[in-house]
Structure 1
Amino acid sequence: MKIKWWGHSCFSIEINGIKILTDPYDDSLPYKKFDDYPDYVTVSHGHFDHNAVERVNGDFKVVDSEKGLKNDDLNIEALKSYHDSSKGKNRGENLIYLMEIGDYRICHLGDLGHLLAEKTINKIKNVDLLLIPVGGNYTIDAETAYKLTKKIEPKLIIPMHFKTDILDFPITGVEKFTDKFDEEEVNYVNESEINLGETENKQVIVLNYS
């Protein structure tokens, strides 16, 4: 499985010849425009930094509702959640995507803004890869993200939606999250793309934006 971080909550995930792009952002963000040609694009919610499907190349299917998507190649289950801790009163709803492709289970939490109920945690427990927001303000913060990882117990964690040297959003950097782990558990990768079969037995992988 290959995964590439474009920035923010946008990843390219490639497994068994299938490519998924998550939460594409519009051109107001300082990250590069994605040049992949995905088969599927997931949208966690309707905000400009997560739903710019018009910028994506090629012929693809959009998954942006609780219907999810299921076919012979994959199953993408959409789980309803909220963008804030007030059941969506402040920022609306958010979709968590549980993707099953072959033997892999991947969970993208979108702009999750609250702790999850045990029913949802049990649904995504022990996923192979958890993509989790950690920057706070618009999403869960580092402390809440850490608590969730301990409940979900994923094999691998890639943090997202945090402040970088080119993004001026009022959110915190990734270190507030990674500092909660032992040093030997975290691998800072100076690349945007990694083969998750080559992770040096680390639990947390921090990618560099494309």
Structure 2
Amino acid sequence: MPVIRIVLSCLLLATQAATQAAAQERRPSHCIALAQETPGLSYVHKAGFRDVLPEYGVRLRYIAHASFLIQAGDISAVTDFTGFIGNVDFIPDVVTMNHAHETHWTASPDPIIPHVLPGWGPVGEGIEHHLDLGAMVVRNVSTDIRSFAGGVEPKGNSIFVFEAEGLCIAHLGHLHHEPSDDQYAALGRMDVVMAPVDGGFTMDLGSMMRVLRRVKASVVIPMHWFGDATLGRFLGGMEDDFAITFAKASEIELSLRSLPDRPTIMVLRPAYLREDE
């Protein structure tokens, strides 16, 4: 497994180096810039992943474990990509991966996927991504992870941020520690956060709750939970600070204008993509 990771890392690093060389100028991040609070309407919209998106809308689909499909304009991205998203003929424009364990990455992503972004680089060095696709910017902030030997692998995980339609959407990946002040600053504003709430494999619940209270995202989507009991412990600890809603589907559509006035935990049930949707 370590050899596969090294080979994959070298190939992906070479691709990334070419991409960075071709893009010397970066579009400024609207998520890092200071922002006024934008009051919104407490509204989410049930949708199918094949449906046309409304203007200024972003669709999020919880696929499985820590994998989400994020769609904006004509661009689609899948987080913590494992190589399988369902029985569909569908190739995303971007996939992101973390290598804490095998349910967050694949050593053999489909070669026709245009952009494969690993959340790690050479051990201890991390990696930097800033991919501007017009309708979506994908960037990352490196964090540390626990190693299999019980130590720490510096910069072995990434929090990926997706900027689209004015929204700042953060996927915390396999986060193992509370971010530093510098990491919070690099992340910037977060309107929507996908957060692992397993309570042990990533972070203990108390630490994760502190992260989410500090972030103050308008929408938090729990992920990486193992059964209703795990999810229930997280919701019970957050109910004084966040409204809690349960979506009737695995997908929601959001826009800046539809963000809730009160911070809200939106519970989605994971479901693989299917051709009959």
Specify the alignment match of 1:8 in structure 2: 65
For residues 58-207 of structure 1, what are the structure 2 equivalents within 5 Å? 59-64=113-118, 65=120, 66-73=127-134, 74-84=136-146, 89=151, 93-164=156-227, 173-182=230-239, 185-197=243-255, 203-207=264-268
1:17 paired residue among 65, 69, 74: 74
| Aligned 8 A contact 2:67 2:80 in 1 | yes
CA gap of 1:199–1:76, structure 2 versus 1, over 3 A, is closer
2:86 paired residue among 33, 44, 51: 33
TM-score (ref. length: structure 2): 0.63
TM-score (ref. length: structure 1): 0.81
Counterpart amino acid of residue 11 in structure 1:
F
Counterpart amino acid of residue 69 in structure 1:
H
State percent identity of aligned pairs. Answer: 22
The more displaced of 185-194 and 117-126 is 117-126
Specify the alignment match of 2:101 in structure 1: 47
Counterpart amino acid of residue 70 in structure 1:
L
Counting matched residue pairs gives 199
Tell me: higher relative CO, structure 1 or 2? Use CA pairs within 8 A at least 6 residues apart.
2
CA gap of 1:46–1:141, structure 2 versus 1, over 3 A, is closer
CA root-mean-square deviation:
2.9
Structure number, greater radius of gyration: 2
**Structure 2 stretches lacking a partner, 5+ long:** 1-57, 121-126, 272-277
Aligned partner of residue 174 in structure 1, secondary structure: helix
Residues 12-66 of structure 1: per-residue CA shift (max 9 Å, x gap): 0011221100012367xxxx63634211001122631011274669533101152
**Structure 1 stretches lacking a partner, 5+ long:** 166-171
